[in-house]
Amino acid sequence: MTTTISPAVVLGAGAPSIDEVVRIARFGAAVTLADDALSGMATTRSIVEHLADDPEPHYGISTGFGALATTFITAERRRQLQQSLVRSHAAGSGREVETEVTRALMTLRLCTLLTARTGIRPLVAETYAAVLNAGITPVVFEYGSLGCSGDLAPLAHCALALMGEGTVRTRDGELVDASAALAEAGITPVVLAEKEGLALINGTDGMLGMLALAITALDRLMTTADISAAMSVEALLGTDAVFAADLQALRPQFGQSVSARNIARMLAYSPLVASHKGPECTRVQDAYSLRCAPQVHGAARDTIAHARLVAERELASAIDNPVVTLDGRVESNGNFHGAPVAYVLDFLAIVVADVASMSERRIDRMLDPRRNEGLPPFLAHEIGVDSGLMIAQYTAAGIVSELKRLAAPASVDSIPSSAMQEDHVSMGWAAGRKLRIAIDGLAQVLAIEVMTASRALDLRAPLLAGPATGAVRDRVRTVVAGPGADRYLAPEIAAVVELVADGSVLAAASTELGALE
């Protein structure tokens, strides 16, 4: 997570936006809690405390959990019940997940607490916020969530830290005991009361947090894909005629029209494009990876738009079981099932694989002397001695192959748990984990395309690139030298990946064109 601190975000005054979640998770923005939300929590807490005194059993308040829901727990054992629930469910395994993912899931759990539908004390929400604001990040592990009954193990590790137990990382990344971190920050550990342990672990917050982070990343990468495609079209002496608005309007898919406009704007005023528009050009039409870029990128954009709609609905949700209803009932429900989020996480993995696949095909075309319209084989400096960018394409191809495997859906792979009480689960957490890997792979493939197209454009001299594509090429040249004898490529690829990931490629194009869509 970057050390840049964003302005504070008010939680509890309505559904948070995707941008607000990302600001807290990735950029360390502080949170403040709306007074009305805390007041509402106090009101619904009184309902839970009344039911706690009832000799009749109430799930999650005076009973066990899951398959043990019929077991009545006496009043004097209920605090132990809540603490034991958290300790036993903090059973994650594998690698530690990224700080921004843990902060995202904590932010979203806090948002649900502030809906006043969980029935827990305001003190718990205030302590949760204090932990976030102190930059204390519980250690959460890769495995442990089935995406149903909430992201149980990940959230339990966060709840454990709230109790002053387990392991956390400080704002500086130091690994310490939670008790020491809370003491250093002046935070008193929470002793959980009835219902509170359950409320802290019962939500889709991990998978939803990863979805919010993914949507933000993909918004940038889809526009970057339009930029890299335009550079490849130009470098391969392709036509910009197919991106005309009237042709795109014949198929009124929204995302397609956006991508076509971006590509057309990138190619505007290009001397290279103009150089082969005369009657001497005999090519009838370009290959699909050039001509159909708006159709593929646009379909990806529309899928992201659908994912955003699902995410926004989920951000407006109060996910817990049981839940305190608006009229004061405490009812069991199934809203913790992660299917809506899991499905779109899987959809996005398909999108990422396909956009990267098309990008890799353009990379390969620029390196092949039979198809690259007169460029040197592999864009090499001295043919036969130098390999040029041959193996950069191998790297892209290897990534694309991995992305195709990651596109296999996690959400169809339900597996029963909790003695068959939880007999169908979403695997949404797993869908989110693989999507994060896939997005990183897409950024790398697009970076290799940008790097390859930049070299190809240089090799077209004395013909010049257009203003926008040339600006991107010039930005690449600040970190990677132009054509020449073979050299160590891995650092150059890494440098361009950074330009893609931090928005520098997009910014370079925007300096010439204004904001791209």
Question: Which residues are marked as active site?
Answer: 59
User: Nearest Cα to 214, choosing from 347, 43, 81, 372?
Assistant: 347
What are the angstrom distances between the C-alpha of 107 and each of 33, 37, 100, 137, 144?
11, 15, 10, 11, 19
Tell me how far apart the alpha carbons of residues 68 and 446 are, in angstroms, rounded to a whole number: 51
Tell me how far apart the alpha carbons of residues 196 and 206 are, in angstroms, rounded to a whole number: 19
Residue with tokens 């966060």: 158
* Dihedral sign from CA coordinates of 94, 100, 105, 106: positive
Tell me how far apart the alpha carbons of residues 110 and 200 are, in angstroms, rounded to a whole number: 9
160: tokens are: 């454990």
DSSP string across 387-439: -TTHHHHHHHHHHHHHHHHHTS-STT----BTTTTB-----HHHHHHHHHHHH
Cβ–Cβ under 8 Å, residues 201 and 150: yes
User: Nearest Cα to 64, choosing from 80, 45, 47, 53?
Assistant: 80
Cβ–Cβ under 8 Å, residues 154 and 429: yes
What are the angstrom distances between the C-alpha of 153 and each of 66, 138, 429?
14, 12, 11
Cβ–Cβ under 8 Å, residues 450 and 503: no
What are the angstrom distances between the C-alpha of 79 and each of 47, 61, 191, 243, 324?
17, 10, 8, 65, 20
Rounded to the nearest 5°, which phi and psi values hold at 138? -60, 145
Classify 69 as helix, strand or coil. coil
112: tokens are: 């649900």
Tell me how far apart the alpha carbons of residues 480 and 447 are, in angstroms, rounded to a whole number: 12
What are the angstrom distances between the C-alpha of 323 and each of 299, 396, 486?
38, 48, 64
494: tokens are: 């890494």
